[in-house]
């Protein structure tokens, strides 16, 4: 089995605080691995470290077998950072934001070609925002903006998707649509590493989960992991009230 993400004994220190200590995480090709745990347990830091975005004090990180410091094949990675908004100081259209997902495949001063444009339209269709492609992202709802970020990662046609709470603010039905999109993605033997606040409709897709607590791996293994260990509210509590708010 090909290893896609290798995190060995990694310790991350931010501002003199040990945020991750001796964390191990291995993801093989075709797997869907979820990182669970309470707020502040280091989930985002772990996947940021996996992408070389967090300073690693100690330990070893490899992507597709290459040490992270030498990794250059960024077009193989699609990243959805943890954000509540896709907006920035100047309005950008949905299409413009999603098109940024093709940049790992383009050199500076190189223009977008037909294939770039086509893939962008497909990624927008994938998240169901085709009729909003020319609209400003900052005029979309929080959940729709989150979908724009997922489309941006998908537009790069990556082999590994890294998603940080892609379901935050997305309602139940949209989550189901997202779960289906993800299912097609992994069906072609591609890999997903994602942080989840709640398993929700994505639960059945997840092969394996890692539960973090205070920067350490509390538990690792196949689902289901009892809710009291994940430190998360029980699943049914969420289906009772259909929240569409930012952290619904």
Partner 1 sequence: MIVLADFMQRALLAALLTGLAAPAVGTYLVQRRLALMGDGIGHVALTGVALGLLTGWAPVWTAVVVATLGAVAIELLREHGRASADVALAMLFYGGIAGGVLLVGLAGISAATLTTYLFGSVTTVSVGDLVLIAALTVVVLVLCIGLRPQLFAVCQDEEFARAAGIPVRVYSMLIAAMAAVTVVVAMRTVGLLMVSALMVVPVATAQQLARGFRATFSLALLLGVAASLTGVTLSYYVDVAPGAAIVVVALFGFTLAWPAGSLLRRQRFAGQRAETGRRGHVAAEEHVHEHDAECGHPGVPHDDHVDYLHGGHLHARHGRHYDEH
- Residue selected from 18, 29, 57, 136 as contacting partner 1 according to rule CB under 8 A: 136
Compute the least distance from the CB of residue 229 to partner 1, in Å: 30
Estimate to the nearest angstrom the gap between the alpha carbon of 160 and the chain centroid: 10
Find the shortest distance in angstroms from Cβ 228 to partner 1. 30
End-to-end C-alpha distance for the chain, whole angstroms:
37
165/163 Cα distance (integer angstroms): 6
Rounded Cα distance, 49 and 26, in Å: 13
**Binding of residue 169 to partner 1 (CB under 8 A):** no
Under the binding rule (CB under 6 A), the answer on residue 241 touching ligand ADP is no
Assigned token pair, 245:
């708010």
* Smaller CB separation from partner 1, 178 or 232: 178
Stretch that binds ligand ADP, among 35-43, 83-91, 147-155, 236-244 (CB under 6 A): 35-43
Residue 146 to residue 143: CA distance in whole angstroms? 5
H helices then E strands: how many in the chain? 7, 10
Task: Pick from 72, 114, 226, 228 the residue near partner 1 by CB under 8 A.
Answer: 72
Nearer to ligand ADP, 155 or 168 (CB): 168
Residues 6 or more apart whose Cβ sits within 8 Å of residue 9: 22, 23, 24, 58, 59, 60
Q: Which two tokens stand for residue 150?
A: 């997922």
Quote the tokens at residue 210: 């890692």
Among 9, 14, 65, 221, binds ligand ADP (CB under 6 A): 14
Please say whether the beta carbons of 199 and 206 come within 8 A. yes
Q: Does 75 participate in binding partner 1 (rule CB under 8 A)?
A: yes
Binding of residue 39 to ligand ADP (CB under 6 A)? yes
Can residue 78 be called a binding residue for ligand ADP (CB under 6 A)?
no
Query: Which of 7, 147, 166, 198 touches partner 1 by CB under 8 A?
Result: 147
Only segment of 9-17, 21-29, 83-91, 132-140 that touches ligand ADP (CB under 6 A): 9-17
CB 33 within 8 A of CB 27: yes
Return residues touching ligand ADP (CB under 6 A): 14-15, 17, 19, 37, 39-45
């Amino acid at each position: 089995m090909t290893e896609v993400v290798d995190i060995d004994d990694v310790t991350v220190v931010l501002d003199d605080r040990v945020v991750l200590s001796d964390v191990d995480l291995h993801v093989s090709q075709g797997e869907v691995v979820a990182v669970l745990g309470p707020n502040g347990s280091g989930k985002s830091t772990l996947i940021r470290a996996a992408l070389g975005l967090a300073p690693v004090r100690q330990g070893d990180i490899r992507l597709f077998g290459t040490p992270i410091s030498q990794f250059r094949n960024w077009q193989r990675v699609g990243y959805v950072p943890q954000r509540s908004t896709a907006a920035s100081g100047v309005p950008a259209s949905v299409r413009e934001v999603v098109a940024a997902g093709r940049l790992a495949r383009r050199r500076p001063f190189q223009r977008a070609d037909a294939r770039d444009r086509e893939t962008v339209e497909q990624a927008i269709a994938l998240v169901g925002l085709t009729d909003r492609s020319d609209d400003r992202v900052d005029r979309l709802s929080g959940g729709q903006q989150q979908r724009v970020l997922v489309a941006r990662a998908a537009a790069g046609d990556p082999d590994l998707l890294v998603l940080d709470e892609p379901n935050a603010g997305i309602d139940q039905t949209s989550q189901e649509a997202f779960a289906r999109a993800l299912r097609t993605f992994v069906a072609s033997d591609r890999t997903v590493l994602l942080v989840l606040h709640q398993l929700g409709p994505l639960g059945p897709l997840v092969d394996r989960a890692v539960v973090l607590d205070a920067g350490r791996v509390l538990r690792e293994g196949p689902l289901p992991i009892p809710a009291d260990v994940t430190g998360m509210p029980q699943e049914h509590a969420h289906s009772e009230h259909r929240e569409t708010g930012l952290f619904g």
